[in-house]
Amino acid sequence: MKIAIVGATGLVGNIMLKVLEERGFSAIDLIVVASSASVGKKIKYFEKEYEVIAVEEAINKKPDIAIFSAGSETSLKYAPIFAENGCFVIDNSSAWRMYPNVPLVVPEINASSITKETKIIANPNCSTIQMVMALAPLHNAYKINRLVISTYQSVTGTGVKAVKQLENEIKGINTEMAYPYPIHKNLFPHGGSFLSNGYTSEEQKLVDETRKILSDNSLRITSTVVRVPVTGGHSIAVNIEFENDFTIDNVRKLLSEMHGIIVLDDVANNSYPMPLISEGKDEVFVGRIRRDESNPKSLNIWIVADNLRKGAATNAVQIAQYLIEKAFVK
């Protein structure tokens, strides 16, 4: 089986290769792809070195699966070409997410939306993935009416340049700016680009993608995205208003039974999710589970996950595993 990683030298691309190794993809014919600036570089995978090639050369190699993490422009241009050659494309950018005929997939929730004829599959936004992991079982049980979302997003969500900015600011070194302001000892309510309605593109993704993944366009959702000086993962505070009432014990039970979720909710012992706990892990951590006493049938929860793993690379690799398990590729 041939698997291509398009954007293999990037922050998420590197994690994708790591996750593939961890999950035992040793017998594949790996194709590592990046921009012209990286062509010829060597990448080690299972103790073997692979040379980075250009995307045009990768197309000619006819991979069975291509996992893209190279930005929307690259995905829009090249994903259809790979797909026309019979390749399954799993795209980590926002390029294809809202196309009606492209499934937006979190495998634990809606893997069944993928068919053998589905050649382009969208990987959701990192914050959306971790949030819907917790929302899906609760929506099934109580029917969500409204969500008020506040995210606290790691600089790793912006990329290598942002991580370098934070590291250099901590050291007191003048640096190239990924953000319009310093991020060390600071935070700002700005993720993505501002839209005409005053929200940002990252905030709008949370609205649109959540509705699509949960198959419910009636959901009322508002969100605020905040960038924080953290490298370990994203954190989300969610206020949920349900159609039906709930008990806290049953909420904990539903979340604990959801594959891929770990409930950390023992406030008597200061046990709750934090980026330090999630870093390097594939699970989504949920805690601070409590009734909203200001509004009937409402709940507050706190969700943390490593945005480079479950929020990006791991989710994409899980989709590839699903394709293999269903014998869509052999």
pLDDT of the residue at 182? 97
Query: Do the Cβ atoms of 241 and 298 come closer than 8 Å?
Result: yes
CATH 3.40.50.720 domain span(s) along the chain? 2-124+312-325
CB under 8 Å to 158, separation ≥6 — which residues?
Answer: 178, 179, 227
Of 87, 190, 234, 259, catalytic: 234
| CA gap 278, 272 in Å, rounded | 11
Average confidence (pLDDT) per 10 residues, the chain, 330 residues: 97 97 96 96 96 97 97 97 97 98 98 97 98 98 98 96 97 96 98 97 98 98 98 97 98 98 98 98 98 98 98 98 94
CATH 3.30.360.10 domain span(s) along the chain? 127-307
pLDDT of the residue at 330? 79
Q: What average pLDDT does the chain have?
A: 97
Of the chain, the percentage scoring pLDDT greater than 70 comes to 100
234 is known as an active-site residue: yes
| CA gap 49, 153 in Å, rounded | 34
CATH C-level class of 2-124+312-325: alpha beta
Residue 93: phi and psi, rounded to 5, are -85, 180
pLDDT of the residue at 51? 97
CB-based burial of residue 141 (10 Å sphere; 0-12 exposed, 13-18 middle, 19+ buried)?
A: middle
pLDDT of the residue at 16? 98
pLDDT of the residue at 286? 98
The pLDDT tens digits of the residues spanning 22-35 come to 999 999 999 999 99
| CA gap 40, 43 in Å, rounded | 10
87 is known as an active-site residue: no
| CA gap 159, 12 in Å, rounded | 8
Of 87, 126, 139, 184, catalytic: 126
The pTM is what? 0.97
Look up the CATH number of domain 127-307: 3.30.360.10
Give SS3 for 301.
strand
